[in-house]
Amino acid sequence: MSSTTLIAGLVTGLLLGGLFAICALGLSLVFGIMRLVNVVHGELLVLAAYLNFTLGRWAGIDPLLSLLILVPIMFGFGFLIQKTILNPLMNKGDEAPLLTAFGLSIIAQNLFLLIWKADTRSLNTEYTGLGLPVAGIQIPLMYLLEFVIAIVLILLVHLFMRKTFLGKAMRAAALDADTARVMGINPKFVYAFTYGMGSAVAALGGTLIAMTFSFVPTTGLVWLLNGFVVVVLGGLGSVFGTLGAGFLLGAAEGLGGAIFGTGYRELVGYIIFLIVLIMRPSGLFGRSNG
Amino acid sequence: MDKQLRQLKTDKKAYGKLAGLLGLAAFLLLIPVIGDSYAELFFYLLFINVALAQSWNLLAGYTGLISLGHAAFFGIGAYTTALVMIWLKWPFFVALILGAAASMLFALIVSRPIFRLRGIYFTIGTMVLAEALRIWMINWEKTGGAQGVNLPLETALSYTTMYYIAFVLAAASVITLAVILRSKIGMGLRAIRDNERSARNSGVNIYRTKLTAFLISALITGLAGGIHAEYSGTIEPYSIFSINWTLTALVIVIVGGMGTITGPILGAFIVGLLGEFLIHYPTIHLIILGIILIAVIRFFPGGLRGALVTLYRLLTEGRSARKIAGNQSGADAK
Amino acid sequence: MMLRLENVSKSFGAVAAISDVSFAVQKGEVLGIMGPNGAGKTTLFNLIMGEFPVDRGTIHFDDKPIHGLSSHEIAAMGLGRTYQIPQPYRGMTVVENLMVGDMFGGKHASLSRARRRAYEILDRVGLADNAEKLAGSLGLLDLKRLELAKALAMNPRLLLLDEIAGGLVENEVVVLRDILDDLKKEGVTMLVIEHVMGILFGLSDRIVVLNFGQLIAQGTAKEVMEEPQVIEAYLGTAHAAEDRDGRPASGPSVAAAMPAASAGSGAPSSAAGTAEEAASAALKGAASSGAPDGSAASAAFDAPTPGTARPAASAAPAVSAQPLLEVVSVTAGYDKFIALFDVSLEIYEGEITGLIGVNGAGKTSLIRAITKGIPLMGGAVRYKGIDLATVEAHKLAELGISQSIEGRKIFPELTVLENLELGAYNKRARQRRKQTLREVFDLFPILEEKKNQLGTLLSGGQQQMLAIGRALMSLPDFLILDEVSLGLAPVVIDQLYKAIVEINRRGTTILLVEQSIQRCLDTVHRAYVIEHGRIVLSGSAEELKNNEEFKKAYFGV
């Protein structure tokens, strides 16, 4: 295989890593603030894709524009889920919320199947298939878009967490919920808000997935595991770590795919994940959780 | 006097339970005779699921290790058994043993690294492991890739034979768990589950004890996989490594009652019956399973068995229990 | 030598938890280990039991090296240990709890033999009737008995007891003491960490004293109590040694382990000369067993502390008719353990009220009951007439209640400024926060200097100032200060107390929770004394200072 193929794989992979980061961000936030392993995150991505698809069929708007409606809807939806279903379980150990999310994921997948059937779908516009030739490599426009969006999004979230009262309250509640309560911060509200945020970001991620690739009711699992890899690589509680890990994983998968064949792309990711997890359970960039 | 009375009551309960299970076993043994092939299929799947559930139960309910990657052992058992029969042309029972051995070997290899992961990291790790295995098998042409493999027709055994084999596995898994739990290692497992730090100070070798549970779990699951391979005659990675096997085992255990022996049996019946009822609507079946799972976790953490036990206690010992409780709080207040 | 430690050191990050500790224990001996909170006593046990490896030094058990072995190997060699907070196997019955140890460490492979032996041990500690109960359902005394029983199930040649009497009332302590005496008679070698001096001095043949991770004294009880370093560690009467501000927040409480429930003094001391002599006499008196008599101890108590300037409390403001905070017959606790029994107190606006009690008396539980950290089992808490049962926990800040929590609990990963600003989270405070920040910086100038530094980089004293400052940011009418002097050098405490008096002068009502009576009574207008979850005394600061009963109550029996 030629060096061009390798470089192409590396570069396109790196850009695609932006999408990985976006899709992992929701997982990272929820895990970082609430230590909740949100195994239904994949289905949130796919839900957004389906909703956008349906919206597109009714109203014919551009999927990115639909986000203006979709993001608030998904935020509210996530907020409700946390508030009603998951909040009561937050102090019953780590397994109860995780297994409940697992149950939600099964319900979601099958609801998708029921409502939208098993057909493969995608969100296509005039530009989703375009590519830009750069130095002999064909770079898909969507990849480039995702790269840029990822950076902007992560910066925005970072600023939110650092500068706003609510963002700081979120970080405080994550560090020490009891002390935060004494200071007037309502942890339950913070958790619901965080989950809402994660879902809102998932709206973006799911839409982009649908525009870049295709999806079926079960697509969520792959992106969930992908998200896990990114979060663990990037470290708990670090949004910049999520960004960096997204790019890293994308590049690794791109390279791996070029060398071993596209079928093995994700495998490369999983193997890296397992190796890192075993050597440093707190990720490459994150703080150790003792 | 009161102590001896209570001891007698416990003994009676234990015998009652045993009698019930034996009666059930007798009933099940007769199914191929009195029932039709449909019933055979239903109960065959039930047996497989009971075995999977008990092995998951051993890890989660007794050792405290929640694994979402159970399908890995199932698939390895299945593929090894199948390939041994296809490539080496060895008979089923030998292949089955090798399948179980392969599953245990895999468990041994991954145990060192994976036990270093605590809590949720362990769970995620198992999930990724299973998924990685699935992708590997999909792509590996040598083992048939996505198409899978077909077992040679000559080696096919009758459905009834497979029924009984599966029954033996299910019964063995129940008995194994019962024996383990009443043994030294069972105490060690429960100690680890309740308080790992204290267990260390009680002299329990945490790694070795966890590993033993892990290996036994892998053994049972591997056997189930091998049996299912023979039963199905053909296996491919999508279904044999599917997370649905883990899900079913999980739901059975939690709905039935985690950390008990009769719980999963109850759970298997419920899940199985539900599946029958909704046989034409598999998606709805799964949706309802999900809802039940969520409801049980939230409102009945002890599962069905826990709920029944509480009910029983309330009815029979209600009065005396309340009296004791009254004395207790009086003593506390001093 | 049953156990021998040589030059053992262990650090966690930058904190040296144990520094160059060496001592030995003979077979059949009981070695007492004492030291203020955070001195490293439990860490020592953890090191011996192999919970983590030593950085330097060696540990030998029966002349065999055990440093570097894993916990279960060490346990199986015949070492049994108890934890300060009992660690039972909650889902298993009491018998089964013991069987685990017996089978895995005590060398009984068969279940029936293990069960039989378990019953014998249970008989011994008085748990035989509860044998088939689930461990999770036991009360505190029984849990402590179980903790001891579990250690005994290991067939131990060496027993490590970590504050086994902590949290128990007098008659419960007696029960435990009897069991331990029997064990000693049988020749069981023991290491005993205790704050309850009666047990410590009565049981131990020798004592080692730890402070800041170092061994500062070794010898018989009398010898050890005469060491100036020990006296200083406990009473803090000498002026501050080197600035220990680099120490972690969990450093020893200066007056912390005042002899609680001491065995009482023997002959009263001669006329106290310096405070040190008086204190030493008091402690010596406590060290020898005899009839309980608080007089020598009270001599130490009365002597004014030299060298430290005390902020004079402002004159008590006129008491308004309606208390700001009312605690009415509150009973509360955790799970099976009741921490507060029928507690009532009143806090009046504009005053500083003190809450005095020793470790485990229930001070923090009372705070938690007020701030809705634990549910009430009986009684009510009323603030400005409002029953707090109707208010959600996070709304208290809005109402004007704020708190500096025990252990500081600042957010170490946020900067000083971020910590402070977060303190003004509630709407009332948020509008005024720039001004409040100015006021906090006036009180604690060092915080302004370090405003962009992360919380972790501050010294213990500065973290405490930050905690108080953060509590002030929420514009409280009522401020609760929970053990603010814990682990700080006297000079730093002086600064804090000056600030506290100033805060009160500016109009904030304060509830001051303290172990150190001197400081407290010199600062507050009124005080309550809590012991074993009950209010045993109350009155104005003057009244309490002159109250014989109080001194007896405090030094206890």
Residues of A with CB under 8 A from a CB of B: 35, 37, 85, 88-89, 92, 94-96, 98-100, 102-107, 109-111, 113-114, 221, 225, 228-229, 232, 261, 263-264, 266-267, 270-271, 273-274, 277-278, 281
Rounded to an integer, what distance in angstroms lies between the CA atom of residue A24 and that of residue A223?
Answer: 8
Are residues C397 and A182, on separate chains, in Cβ contact within 8 Å? yes
Are residues B204 and C80, on separate chains, in Cβ contact within 8 Å? no
The minimum CA-CA distance between C168 and chain A, rounded to whole Å, is 27
Provide the strand spans (E) within chain B: 149-150, 234-235
Provide the strand spans (E) within C455-533: 478-482, 509-514, 526-531
Q: Chains near B, with 3+ CB pairs < 8 A?
A: A, C
From the number of C-beta atoms within 10 Å of its C-beta (0-12, 13-18, 19+), residue C186 rates as exposed
Contacts of residue C83 in chain B, CB cutoff 8 Å?
A: 198
What integer pLDDT is reported at residue C292 of this predicted model?
A: 33
Contacts with C17 (C-beta within 8 Å, 6 or more apart), sequence order: C10, C11, C40, C43, C213
The minimum CA-CA distance between A100 and chain B, rounded to whole Å, is 5
Are residues B194 and C91, on separate chains, in Cβ contact within 8 Å? yes
Contacts of residue B116 in chain A, CB cutoff 8 Å?
A: 278, 281
The nearest alpha carbon in chain B to A289 belongs to B118
Q: Average of pLDDT values for C237-259?
A: 31
* Unique residue bearing structure tokens 């239903």: B42
pLDDT band at B9 (very low <50, low <70, confident <90, very high): low
pLDDT at A242 over 80: yes
Residue A289 lies in a domain: no
What integer pLDDT is reported at residue C159 of this predicted model?
A: 93
pLDDT at C144 over 60: yes
Contacts of residue A111 in chain B, CB cutoff 8 Å?
A: 287
Tens digit of pLDDT for each residue in B265-309? 888 988 888 888 888 888 898 899 899 899 988 888 777 777 777
C377 has a chain A CB within 8 A of its CB: no
Q: Average of pLDDT values for C499-522?
A: 87
Q: Which of C394, C436, C466 to mutate to test the interface with A (most CBs of A within 10 A)?
A: C394
In the B/C pair of chains, how many CB contacts fall below 8 A? 90
Tens digit of pLDDT for each residue in B186-228? 899 989 888 888 999 998 999 899 999 999 999 999 999 999 9
From the number of C-beta atoms within 10 Å of its C-beta (0-12, 13-18, 19+), residue C191 rates as buried
The nearest alpha carbon in chain B to C87 belongs to B198
Residue A287 lies in a domain: no
Neighbours of B260 (CB within 10 A): 22
Rounded to an integer, what distance in angstroms lies between the CA atom of residue B128 and that of residue B112?
Answer: 16
Across A241-255, C238-252, C513-527, least confident range? C238-252
Task: Give me the residue from C75, C109, C132 closest to B201, CB to CB.
Answer: C75
Rounded to an integer, what distance in angstroms lies between the CA atom of residue B163 and that of residue A131?
Answer: 57
| pLDDT, averaged across chain B | 84
Residue A197 lies in a domain: yes
Give strand pairing partners of A139. Answer: A132
- Name the nearest CA neighbour of C481 among B159, B69, B18, A182: A182
- Report whether C515 contacts C281 (CB < 8 A): no
The nearest alpha carbon in chain A to B113 belongs to A278
Are residues C411 and A171, on separate chains, in Cβ contact within 8 Å? yes
C83 has a chain B CB within 8 A of its CB: yes
Residue A51 lies in a domain: yes
| pLDDT, averaged across chain C | 78
- Report whether A17 contacts A251 (CB < 8 A): yes
What integer pLDDT is reported at residue B76 of this predicted model?
A: 94
pLDDT at B333 over 60: no
The domain that contains A177 carries what CATH number? Answer: 1.10.3470
Tens digit of pLDDT for each residue in C224-235? 877 877 766 655
pLDDT band at A79 (very low <50, low <70, confident <90, very high): very high
Q: Which one-letter amino acid corresponds to residue C514?
A: E
C481 has a chain A CB within 8 A of its CB: no
The nearest alpha carbon in chain A to B133 belongs to A267
Task: Give me the residue from B188, B190, B197 closest to C104, CB to CB.
Answer: B188
* Unique residue bearing structure tokens 């409940």: A100
Residue A89 lies in a domain: yes
What integer pLDDT is reported at residue C233 of this predicted model?
A: 64
- Which percentage of chain C shows pLDDT scores above 70? 80
Task: Give me the residue from C394, C413, C425 closest to A165, CB to CB.
Answer: C425
Are residues A175 and C411, on separate chains, in Cβ contact within 8 Å? yes
What integer pLDDT is reported at residue C318 of this predicted model?
A: 53
Q: Which is higher by pLDDT, B218 or C319?
A: B218
C-alpha distances in Å from residue C498, one per residue of C29, C310, C348, C501, C541: 47, 8, 21, 5, 18
Q: Which of A39, A43, A278 to mutate to test the interface with B (most CBs of B within 10 A)?
A: A278
Task: Give me the residue from C395, C413, C425 closest to A169, CB to CB.
Answer: C425
pLDDT band at B2 (very low <50, low <70, confident <90, very high): low
Are residues B259 and C91, on separate chains, in Cβ contact within 8 Å? yes
Q: Average of pLDDT values for C77-88?
A: 88
In chain A, the number of structural domains is 1
Sign of the Cα torsion A204, A205, A210, A215 reads negative
Contacts with B22 (C-beta within 8 Å, 6 or more apart), sequence order: none
Rounded to an integer, what distance in angstroms lies between the CA atom of residue C466 and that of residue C449?
Answer: 12
In C142-181, the residues whose Cβ lies within 8 Å of chain B are 150, 153-154, 169
pLDDT at B99 over 90: yes
Residue A272 lies in a domain: yes
pTM, whole model, 2 decimals? 0.80
Task: Give me the residue from C413, C418, C474 closest to A183, CB to CB.
Answer: C474
Tens digit of pLDDT for each residue in A137-188? 888 889 999 999 999 999 999 999 988 889 989 988 888 888 888 888 898 9
Q: Average of pLDDT values for B76-91?
A: 92
A290 has a chain C CB within 8 A of its CB: no
| pLDDT, averaged across chain A | 88
Kindly write down the DSSP assignment for every residue of B64-76, as one continuous string. Answer: ----S-THHHHHH
Are residues C92 and B194, on separate chains, in Cβ contact within 8 Å? yes
**3-state SS string for C246-302:** CCCCCCCCCCCCCCECCCCCCCCCCCCCCHHHHHHHHHHHHHCCCCCCCHHHHHHHH
Q: Average of pLDDT values for A50-57?
A: 92
Residue A122 lies in a domain: yes
Residue A288 lies in a domain: no
What integer pLDDT is reported at residue B4 of this predicted model?
A: 58
- Name the nearest CA neighbour of A276 among A228, A238, A240: A228
Are residues A270 and B286, on separate chains, in Cβ contact within 8 Å? no
Element (H, E) at C23: strand C15-25
Are residues A183 and C409, on separate chains, in Cβ contact within 8 Å? no
Are residues A172 and C414, on separate chains, in Cβ contact within 8 Å? yes
Residue range(s) defining the domain that contains residue A245: 3-279
What integer pLDDT is reported at residue C189 of this predicted model?
A: 92
pLDDT band at A18 (very low <50, low <70, confident <90, very high): very high
Across A106-115, B230-239, C46-55, C99-108, least confident range? C99-108
